[in-house]
Amino acid sequence: MCLGIPGMIVELRDDESLPMGTVDFGGVRRDVCMAYVAEKAQVGDYVIVHVGFAISMVDAAEAQRTFRLLEELGEPEGSGEGKSPPSSDPALSDSDSEGDSGAGP
């Protein structure tokens, strides 16, 4: 399974004849290859980005719905950073880690 994340184009440019852009993902900006959407994409448009490539265009309403869904899937407030929620399935639990204090590696 792959995950494409929506972001807003804030800059477009050519890097050695390769269409590139800067895309804002809720305050985090990344350089993205725009080759697949270069003919249509403009600053202010939303694109779906997967592994550094803008793979399709998306309207602003759909981008906002996706942002909300990703926030809902995020870590519950007050839980330990990086910890997965407990599972009732022993095969999925973190019980085999010795002395896990939740402090991370």
pLDDT tens sequence for the chain (105 residues) = 678 899 999 999 999 999 999 999 989 999 999 999 999 999 999 999 999 999 999 999 999 998 888 888 885 654 444 444 444 444 444 444 444 444 444
pLDDT of residue 96: 46
Map out the domains of the chain with their CATH numbers.
5-73 (2.30.30.140)
* Residues 9/41, Cβ–Cβ less than 8 Å: yes
The helix, strand and coil proportions of the chain, stated in percent and rounded to the nearest 5, come to: 15, 35, 50
The tokens for 48 are 């779906």
* Residues 51/67, Cβ–Cβ less than 8 Å: no
Give the Cα separation of 26 and 46 in Å (integer). Answer: 12
pLDDT of residue 12: 98
**pTM of the shown model:** 0.67
Residue by residue, DSSP assigns 9-54 as: EEEEEEETTEEEEEEEETTEEEEEE-TTTTTT--TT-EEEEETTEE
Q: Specify the DSSP class assigned to residue 84.
A: P
pLDDT of residue 59: 96
